[in-house]
A and B are shown apart, each in its own frame.
Chain A
């Protein structure tokens, strides 16, 4: 009978993290959806998303996080954020004649009363949040990459077999 080694921090930290991450993502979503009426906007929303992911990474260890949101997913989401902004600009060019024009402005629907501000907020929050999460992963988690043929495996930060 061997004991399973738990990674990450103690179970008190894990329990509190699982409650607080929900509140952090809710706060970020509140800033994105109501960014045109409440002080805040897209930038604090993105940084708060990055902080929520950093908290999960610190409390649960890197194997838990790599199955769910790995570094490759984070870098793809960064590109998606910039591309959403670009496409909104081109839609403005197609509908109204100038780049990044607000083509939905001042209508009466529930969420889009201020036009393309909400879509731009989502793009900004995705780009900022995933960029900062990626730089945290690169500073703290990623180690040396070992390749055999075409299989590449990523050793952790404090592995002793690759010191030169």
Chain B
């Protein structure tokens, strides 16, 4: 009973933090509050019984904060403010979001009850992980032995997206003439 109450409280904090992120005008404050949402998420993972995901979420959150702050701070002005109205009107989007939430409440009645997963596939992994692989961490033995092919595909996806980002960021080459090179070497 105590765990359920704590999970509700943490989720309410995350919703409040994300509303602050979306509505605040100063960009640096928005990035900081998305970082706060990520850290509350990591604590939620710890209470849900997933310690290695909590470790990974903290470290990934720190790195994504570094990247986002690089995007918002410029040489000209610090923390560009947001101005103007929105593309779609505010009220229409809010009405549609409300309709979707009503339908989602009806749709979530048909999921299995919270706290009783039907572990049809995981039963095999839990029974055979220690005897066949010899590892104590069942999640590591799933991602690196039972389903290692998916991890290989994930490495390729990460590799491709970083290569794509590198190709987007590369600036052009400038060829200088030969006499310009001589002037550069002399000074």
Do B70 and A140 touch (CB < 8 A)? yes
Stretch at the interface among B3-11, B92-100, B118-126, B152-160: B152-160
CB contacts under 8 Å to B, within A111-164, are: 113-117, 120-121, 123-124, 127-128, 131-132, 134-136, 138-140, 142-149, 152, 158, 162
CB contacts under 8 Å to A, within B38-92, are: 51-52, 55-56, 59-60, 62-63, 66-67, 70, 75
Stretch at the interface among A2-10, A13-21, A40-48, A61-69: A40-48
Cα distance A33–B98 in the bound complex, in angstroms: 50
Chain A interface residue count, CB cutoff 8 Å, equals 57
The residue on A at minimum CB distance from B51 is A39
Do B152 and A41 touch (CB < 8 A)? no
SS of B interface (majority): helix
Q: Mark A86-118, 1 if CB is under 8 A from B, else 0.
A: 100100000000011010011100000111110
Q: Which of B59, B70, B149, B156 contacts A48 (CB 8 A)?
A: B59
Cα distance A54–B52 in the bound complex, in angstroms: 23
Contact count A vs B, C-beta below 8 Å = 148
| Interface flag for B136 (CB, 8 Å) | yes
Cα distance A1–B23 in the bound complex, in angstroms: 56
Do A99 and B140 touch (CB < 8 A)? no
Query: How many Å from the CB of A106 to the closest CB on chain B?
Result: 4
Cα distance A89–B181 in the bound complex, in angstroms: 51
| Interface flag for B111 (CB, 8 Å) | no
| Interface flag for A72 (CB, 8 Å) | no
Query: Which A residues are CB-close (under 8 A) to B175?
Result: 147-148
Query: Which A residues are CB-close (under 8 A) to B136?
Result: 36-37
Cα distance A40–B169 in the bound complex, in angstroms: 32
Do A81 and B173 touch (CB < 8 A)? no
Q: Which of B140, B145, B165 contacts A138 (CB 8 A)?
A: B165
Chain B interface residue count, CB cutoff 8 Å, equals 47
Query: How many Å from the CB of B154 to the closest CB on chain A?
Result: 9
Q: Which of A36, A123, A148, A152 contacts B135 (CB 8 A)?
A: A36
Do A40 and B155 touch (CB < 8 A)? no
Query: Which A residues are CB-close (under 8 A) to B155?
Result: 81-82, 85, 123-124, 127-128
| Interface flag for B148 (CB, 8 Å) | yes
Beyond A41-B143, A54-B66, A100-B149, whether A135 also contacts B174 by CB under 8 A is no
Cα distance A39–B137 in the bound complex, in angstroms: 7
Query: Which A residues are CB-close (under 8 A) to B52?
Result: 39-41, 44
Query: How many Å from the CB of A23 to the closest CB on chain B?
Result: 14
Q: Which of A36, A47, A123, A148 contacts B137 (CB 8 A)?
A: A36
Cα distance A78–B178 in the bound complex, in angstroms: 37
Query: How many Å from the CB of B15 to the closest CB on chain A?
Result: 27
Beyond A38-B137, A82-B159, whether A44 also contacts B144 by CB under 8 A is no
| Interface flag for A56 (CB, 8 Å) | no
Query: Can you show 13 pairs from A to B with CB atoms below 8 A apart?
Result: A35-B140, A40-B52, A44-B55, A85-B155, A100-B148, A114-B135, A117-B144, A124-B155, A127-B155, A138-B166, A139-B70, A147-B176, A148-B175
Contact surface of B with A, Cβ cutoff 8 Å: 51-52, 55-56, 59-60, 62-63, 66-67, 70, 75, 131-137, 139-141, 143-145, 148-149, 151-152, 155-156, 158-159, 162, 165-166, 169-176, 178, 180-181
